[in-house]
Chains A and B, each alone.
Chain A
């Protein structure tokens, strides 16, 4: 099925596939909710704004990913009711999720450094 997790207008789609395989989408989600619990719409908006519109998650891909991470025990969804508002489901990191995030972040950094060194982008 030809569907994509993210729209990345400035990024090559084939590269996207590889990125997904490396788990970058997971890293993005975990990073977004690290500071505090957020609901799905917030998460998608934050991704969009923080990537300056470069990355955009669809409903059809964002929520399945959230559910998968929840099933893995990395994050936890909870319905929160506020007076006068509809209840919403907020996602926050679990202890496991935090550990995973730290590890993935380190890996990612090492990877990006390595890529920088090899491709010499900064020295171009």
Chain B
């Protein structure tokens, strides 16, 4: 008899009948066809013919399905066979998702632990990615930022020198590769804005040339930017920054065209520019510096290349321009070239790049630890769920299907963790600007939480979901259903246990790497903070004083400084008042000067040494308690018109006088190394103790001190030493005293800081780096601890019977304790060895950020080992104690 079943089954396939109903129909129709076949055979038909004619009863292949498609028994939804493979993946996915959410909801503490761990890992990664995105990935927020370059004057002693207005004009006139080159002077202090109510206010400003905003591609959001005609007219015009305009003028558009009183003169506000312009430096106003006819002071210059011009082409073009200028103006331009570098590279220094890469690496490690922890949680849970999974397998779910279900659960965890992480990342980025030390991020660059960060977060969450989900899912399906379902079957730690130990060892290794890095940075911070600053004053108040336009010459300035010092000295609680152009570990207003020892063989221009040129009042040395080691300090006789004198520091004597007595040695000092630059010959009258210029300087700073009365500058630091108590408490009284001296409201007094604040600011980067890495390392350690604790607790739980039997056979509590401690110690030892080996390699990458400590510092290695041992001890106590409390009688009775 022919077999009809297969043919019938294929004809019914698309109807989605229930398997039982399908079998019934096949049976019934087969009987019909059998009978028809018999009948045909009896009628004399051959086997083939009878078969053919019987099959014809079914008409064409789709007919049966066509007539049955509207029946209720067709299109039966497939029953939810737990874990069975299905023909429609989308339904499967939906089913997996619902099942995953249901399962996770049933175990809120597990879910919360996993989600929070992931949120933490993904959150800190998103935030740091936001930083890296801003610094390393995103272009500067200006039009065609790739065409913006910094242009410097190159001399034999300086690769990156500032540019004279005359040369700037010539560069613009002669070059063929730039659309425009413009100049600016950052950090030039503030202007004093006189208010209608008679009070004065300091407003940070920058001097810029007329083309600066056009070069940057910044358009005014109100009014206009500077025009060439402003330069030609030498107009007193200013442009406001958006932030200042909003804060100070409530974004009033009517401010355009209005006159404001700055430094006692009337200036016209011509426009407002958006915050992107702050890439030039933090400021509130930009004042036009006319340069026509070569007026104005030296500037930094930014150029915008013509479209398609490379930096090499611009370099060649500008080299030709510089050569032409050197030929025509040998007095000022001989030996001068040009250096060009992308603005982006200059705005974002290598320190910042390294720091952000360091953070990215660190949070990457934290994320790995988070993944390992969640994988551990899932592994433990998978062991507990073995029975459930085995039942699904027995019901027909294949291994792939079970893995997919478990992976779906991991992904659901990752997605929820990712969403929370996103919120955490956004929160961190929101508060980051107030935590990041000033000056670390270039001004004008804002940390933003944008689509890129969200995309990063989403991708991370998915990858993480796969990463921590795959091993547990794979491991969970490594068993025979029959063994697991069998009554009395016992769960054993087995391979899952080993994987968990490997994961914990990995966590420990990662934590060791992070701890080691944090240790090195912490030692660097300690070294920097405990560095000998040179001065001994415990407390002193400093302020920047800019006497402004009301003091047109040095005599007037000197008079003002004297009057102010007298007024402040008269205040109660003031022990000393001094003036200086450089603060120890702080900023220097005068920068470097070049010098030659008179009488020594003459040096080539490029060989002339430089020293920090520091102008101080005679009281400076007592005000900051800086000892004079040889000779004398300045006194009231060191004034203009008398013998020009100077003091030097210890490093100067060591390096340049080599054993000679410094007193009476004459030094020729010039502002530039060029022989054309006028020099002043000064006689050394004393040697001051070494003072630090930067907290982590590799070489001692060379300093020359010059008396205020012989070279009186316009911008200067005032230092007020209190008789006792806190220096900052003097600030209001000092300001009031200054206002009494400054009757015309022309003097700018700003940035009150104590010397401690200056030190704090100087070490802020190092502190920020160390604290952040330490926080992450602490987090990593905590997570590793939780991981170890979890694994030990679980293993003790699994081995209750084992421990019970051992106790019954005579093992002491100490023996059981040792059993638990041994596994913990093994994990810790493996993780620590691996971690230290990795740390030894990775430590070298930190070398440029370290000070006073070697990348392979043994003390740090020891510190990490001790911390790890303590951590392991803490994590082991609980589980080990529990193991010793197992009562053999109770355990064996339960068997």
Contacts and interface: CB of A to CB of B under 8 A. Distances in A.
B28 A40 contact: yes
> Which of A39, A40, A60, A88 has the most chain B CB atoms closer than 10 A to its own CB?
A60
Nearest to B4: A59
A71 B73 CA distance: 8
B33 A59 contact: yes
B455 interface: no
Interface stretch (A29-37, A62-70, A93-101, A112-120): A62-70
A49 interface: no
A103 interface: no
A3 B71 contact: no
A89 interface: yes
Interface in B15-73: 24-25, 28-29, 31-33, 35-36, 57-60, 62-64, 66-68, 70-73
A60 B71 contact: no
B612 to A, nearest CB: 98
Nearest to A88: B31
Contacts of B33: 59
A60 B67 contact: yes
Contact of A3 (B25, B31, B36, B59): B59
A3 B35 CA distance: 23
A67 B62 contact: no
A71 B28 CA distance: 17
A41 interface: yes
A112 B127 CA distance: 87
Given A64-B67, A64-B71, A41 B36 contact: yes
Interface residues of A, number: 19
Interface in A80-111: 86, 88-89
B54 to A, nearest CB: 9
Contacts of A41: 31-32, 35-36
A60 B72 contact: no
Contacts, number: 63
B73 A60 contact: no
A1 interface: yes
A58 interface: yes
A1 to B, nearest CB: 5
Most buried by A among B28, B59, B71, B72: B28
Nearest to A79: B24
Contacts of A59: 29, 32-33, 36, 57-58, 64
A67 B24 CA distance: 12
B32 A60 contact: no
A61 interface: yes
Contacts of B70: 68
B59 A60 contact: yes
Nearest to A87: B27
A89 B28 contact: yes
Given A59-B29, A86-B31, A89-B28, A67 B58 contact: no
B29 A58 contact: no
A3 B28 contact: no
A3 B29 contact: no
A60 B64 contact: yes
A68 B41 CA distance: 32
B36 A60 contact: no
B31 A60 contact: no
Interface string B577-598: 0000000000000000000000
Contacts of B63: 1, 3, 58, 60-61
Given A41-B35, A59-B33, A67-B73, A3 B67 contact: yes
B29 A1 contact: no
The residue in B25, B59, B70, B71 that gathers the most chain A C-beta atoms within 10 A of its C-beta is B59
Contacts of A44: 32
A63 B65 CA distance: 11
A39 to B, nearest CB: 8
Contacts of B31: 39-41, 86, 88
Contacts of A89: 24, 28
Contacts of A86: 31
A44 B62 CA distance: 21
Given A58-B59, A59-B58, A71-B72, A3 B32 contact: no
Nearest to A1: B66
A67 B68 contact: yes
A64 B64 contact: yes
Contacts of B73: 67, 71
A83 B644 CA distance: 136
Nearest to B54: A59
B57 A67 contact: no
Q: Which among B25, B32, B58, B66 has the greatest number of chain A C-beta atoms within 10 A? A: B32
Most chain B CB inside 10 Å of its own CB: which residue of A1, A3, A59: A59
Interface string A3-36: 1000000000000000000000000000000000
Interface in A41-66: 41, 44, 58-61, 63-65
Contact of A68 (B59, B62, B71): B71
B62 A1 contact: yes
A67 B33 CA distance: 17
A67 B69 CA distance: 11
Contacts of B58: 58-60
A59 to B, nearest CB: 4
Contacts of B57: 58-60
Contacts of B36: 41, 59
A5 B62 CA distance: 14
A59 B68 CA distance: 12
Nearest to B66: A1
Interface in B52-107: 57-60, 62-64, 66-68, 70-73
Given A3-B67, A64-B67, 5 more contacts: A1-B63, A40-B29, A41-B32, A44-B32, A59-B58
Closest 7 CB pairs of A and B: A64-B67, A59-B57, A60-B63, A60-B59, A64-B68, A60-B64, A3-B63
17 contacts: A1-B60, A3-B59, A3-B60, A3-B66, A40-B29, A40-B32, A41-B35, A58-B59, A59-B33, A59-B57, A59-B58, A59-B64, A60-B59, A63-B29, A67-B68, A68-B71, A89-B24
